[in-house]
Structure 1
Amino acid sequence: MRLSGKQIRHLRGLAHHHRIVVMMGNSGLTDTLKLEFDSALSAHELVKVKLPAGQSKEKRAILQQLCRAAGAVPVQLIGRVGIAYRPAETPRIILP
């Protein structure tokens, strides 16, 4: 799924007031983390993830791997916080 610029801006605006739902620890990208991320997306559609400190390329790669595993789309990465979106079967977020 690809998002247009207008859709990404809309999702970023919605995510601004959301709290971080999933935090990645020192264990790295584990199966448990992937399951937690998947269940958070099922419950919320739009999820904020706190990633470990590191280079921007590493964090972007981790966010991509999480999204690929859950069938989600990365929306934004700022600092250590990534935002991901996956529409539910009955979407609550209406994209423009």
Structure 2
Amino acid sequence: MLTGKQKRYLRSLAHHLDPIFQVGKGGTNEHLMRHINDAIEKRELMKVSVLNNCLEDKHDIAAELAEQTGSELVQVIGSVIILYKPSRDHKQIELP
């Protein structure tokens, strides 16, 4: 579980990142989850964009993504979800 200070730090790091994946009309599926899991393992911190035509609620999608990938939900702001998961192999981000 991340503390408030750690979440603020991760939000500041994520500010300049662009969303890597988009969740659209089809919602989340196994294929998307696999790719997100691979990407977050390499990057540790990433953004996912939820498109306007998505039928599911963005907070439900964020919770599902965090649960399925084993990551921490940092923030849902607008239509962007920020996720963090420390890498097992090469740790890039050192939390305060």
Same fold? TM cut 0.5: yes
Partner of 1:92: 92
- Distance, in Å, in 1 between the alignment partners of 2:19 and 2:51 is 13
- Distance, in Å, in 2 between the alignment partners of 1:58 and 1:13 is 25
Paired residue type of 1:44: R
Partner of 1:30: 29
- Distance, in Å, in 2 between the alignment partners of 1:58 and 1:26 is 11
- Distance, in Å, in 2 between the alignment partners of 1:72 and 1:28 is 19
Residue 13 (1) aligns with residue 12 (2): yes
Aligned residues: 93
Unaligned runs of 5+ in 2: none
TM superposition shift of 1:81:
0.4
Partner of 1:69: 68
Output the TM-score relative to the length of structure 1: 0.90
TM superposition shift of 1:53:
2.9
- Distance, in Å, in 2 between the alignment partners of 1:32 and 1:25 is 13
TM superposition shift of 1:25:
2.0
Unaligned runs of 5+ in 1: none
Secondary structure of residue in 2 paired with 1:93? coil
RMSD (Å), alpha carbons: 1.5
Q: Which runs of 4+ in 1 moved over 6 A?
A: none
- Distance, in Å, in 1 between the alignment partners of 2:50 and 2:38 is 17
Output the TM-score relative to the length of structure 2: 0.90
Contact 1:52 1:59 in 2 (8 A): no
